[in-house]
Amino acid sequence: MNTSPFHEELLRMKRRRQLYSMAVVAIVAAVIVAGYGQANSMNSGGFLSGLQQFFDYPGEIVVEAWQAGPAFFGLLIRFLPALIETLNIAAVATILGGLAAVIFAFLGASNLNVWPPAVPVARRLMDLLRAFPELIVALFLIFVLGTSPVPAMIAVALHTTGALGKQFSEVNENIDRKAIEGLEAVGASWFQRMKFGVLPQVLPNYLSYFMMRFEINVRASAILGFVGAGGIGSELRRTIGWGQGSGDETAALFLLLIMAIFAIDQASSWMRHRVSGGGLPA
């Protein structure tokens, strides 16, 4: 057999691929360079002048916190309720959104035969819930319901339903059919098949995604507080907006938020490792 045309074909393909890679790298580099130039010109302050004062604000905060001395710990305790409120918003939203996501995920998984006509409907609904930025829903609900943590909670829950629903339904679709077939063979009902064949397979992954989502939602809740939903975000807006003299309070709030995020991060990665037995990439 003559292999030389085959070999040439291979070389040609290789050259073409190299050309493509070079082109992609060149485009990306051009986008980054041009983009930073453009962004710099659109910004109200310049990059170079900003670089000099980059540490001014963090420095100011740290100095004021230092000057506050032992009273700083008092501030930490004073802002604890605000942190708890933010955590509550995130937790309730993750629980409610997560429960809704389980239902959507079962309806939207094509291999579980819950109710075939509902599969595309559930999927589109999840897409829509995901695409809607939480911020918009929260601002709208604040307008109707008034300033309270509940609008933020609802907004985050709706987004969670879309985001977790998609991940859950992917988990559902990747299950091993053998367990279901085995249960079917012994005459198990649909409910029994789900309970003994599907849930044990999907629950560890569900829990792992659920914890990750809780982490994300803590951040989202803190940000929504900034636009008027209460919690640590609204305290931050107050102290930062106040301008001079509240740097110690800002520092206390930053510290609380960072510690909370760090603690949740550690706890959830520990839990994920335990549940998945280290088999899943975290």
Partner 1 sequence: MSAPAMSMDTGEAVPTRGRIARAVRMQSRIGFAMLAGVLVYLAYAWFAFDVSGLIASARPERAALLATDAVAHKVHVEKSLRFGDVVIAVEGERTATYKTPPEWVDIDGERVRVDMGDGYTALIEGRTVVLDAPDYGRIRVTATKDGVETELPSGEQPDWLRATDAKFDARPSLAQRVQVSRAKIEVHRYFLGWENFFFPFDSPLAALSFGEVTDLVFDDRRLNPEISNATLVFRSFWENPDWQHGNVFVALLETLLMAVLGTFTAAFVGLPLAFLAARNFTPSGALRFFVRRVFDFLRGIDMLIWSLIFIRAFGLGPLTGALAIAFTDTGSLGKLFSEALENIDRKQVEGVNATGASKLQTYRFGVIPQILPIFVSQGLYYLESNTRSATVIGALGAGGIGLMLVETMRTSRDWENTLYIIILTILLVIAMDNLSGLLRRRLIQGKPD
> Is 133 near partner 1 (CB under 8 A)?
yes
CB of 153 to partner 1, least distance (A): 7
Binders of partner 1 among 34-93, rule CB under 8 A? 35-36, 38-40, 42-47, 50-51, 53-54, 56-58, 85, 88, 91-92
CA distance 132 to 150: 18
CB of 128 to partner 1, least distance (A): 9
Binders of partner 1 among 89-118, rule CB under 8 A? 91-92, 95-96
Cβ–Cβ under 8 Å, residues 110 and 173: yes
Binders of partner 1 among 6-35, rule CB under 8 A? 28, 31-32, 35
Cβ–Cβ under 8 Å, residues 100 and 165: yes
CB atoms within 10 A of CB 182: 13
Cβ–Cβ under 8 Å, residues 247 and 65: yes
Residue from 194, 204, 246, 273 binding partner 1 (CB under 8 A): 204
- The pair phi, psi for residue 110, each rounded to 5°, is -80, -15
> Is 188 near partner 1 (CB under 8 A)?
no
CA distance 205 to 52: 46
CB of 209 to partner 1, least distance (A): 9
> Is 258 near partner 1 (CB under 8 A)?
yes
Q: What binding mask, one character per residue, do residues 162-181 give for partner 1 by CB under 8 A, x or -?
A: --------xx--xxx--x--
DSSP letter assigned to residue 245: T
Q: What is the Rg, in whole angstroms, of the alpha carbon atoms belonging to the chain? A: 26
